[in-house]
Amino acid sequence: MRRLIGRGHWRGQRAVRAGLSLTAAALLLSSCGIPSTGVVEAGEAATGIRPAYVLYFVRQDTLLGVRSRVPGTFDIGTAVELLFRGPDAVLGRKGLTTELPPLAAPPTVRADGARLSVELPRGTEPLNRTALAQLTCTIAAARVVVDAGSGSGSGSGSDSASSTQVTVTIPGVRQAEGSGETCPGSATAE
C-alpha cells in the first residue's frame, strides 16, 4: 500500500533546504579567511607605468632604439652605463651590436640646460660617427623621460629630444658633439 504524504510536508522540506542553502552560502561568504584591518601603510602610492630606457644599438648599419625596463631610479647616467654594457644575449641573437668601445670605468654625465656632457675615462678609444649617434640618441631619449618625470620639460617630448646637445670628452682626445635632431624613433626590436 502506498503511503500518501500531504503537500504541506514537501513544502516544509523545501523551505528547510532553502534555509540551509542560504545559511551555508552566508557562512562561506562571511568567513573567507581575510581578517578585517584598518588602514595599512604600504609605502608610496602607485604612479602608473614605469618609464623605460630607450637604448640605441646597431643592426646592419641601422640605429635602432630598444626599450628596456630597469628597476630603480631613472636617470641619464644609468641609461649611459647600460648602453656601454652593450646588448644582452637576447638582443645579440636578434643581430643587435654596438659600436661603443668597452670602458674601464663608468662615464661621468653632467647636465646644464639642454646641453649634456659625457666624460669618458682616460684611454677610451675615440668614438666613430655611429658610436656617437648611439650615445647621443640614448641620452636624448633618456632626457625626455627625465624631463617628463620631473615636470621641468619645455614643450613636447620630441622637442626636448631634438634640442638635446651632447658633448663627449675623452681626456687627451679631441671632443665630439652630437644632437638629438637625427635620432630615429624607437622602432624597437623587442
Instruction: List, for residues 72-107, the tens digit of each pLDDT value.
Output: 777 888 889 889 999 999 999 999 999 999 888 989
CA pseudo-torsion sign 145, 150, 152, 155: positive
Give pLDDT, residue 177.
80
Give pLDDT, residue 167.
87
Q: Quick one: what percent of the chain has pLDDT higher than 70?
A: 62
Q: With beta carbons less than 8 A apart as the criterion, state whether 183 and 56 touch.
A: yes
For the chain, report the end-to-end CA distance as a whole number of angstroms: 81
**Domain chopping of the chain, boundaries:** 53-182
Rounded CA gap, 73 and 103, in Å?
A: 22
Looking at the predicted structure, is the pLDDT value of residue 4 above 60? no
Mean pLDDT of the chain: 75
Give pLDDT, residue 24.
57
What phi, psi does 20 have (nearest 5°)? -65, -40
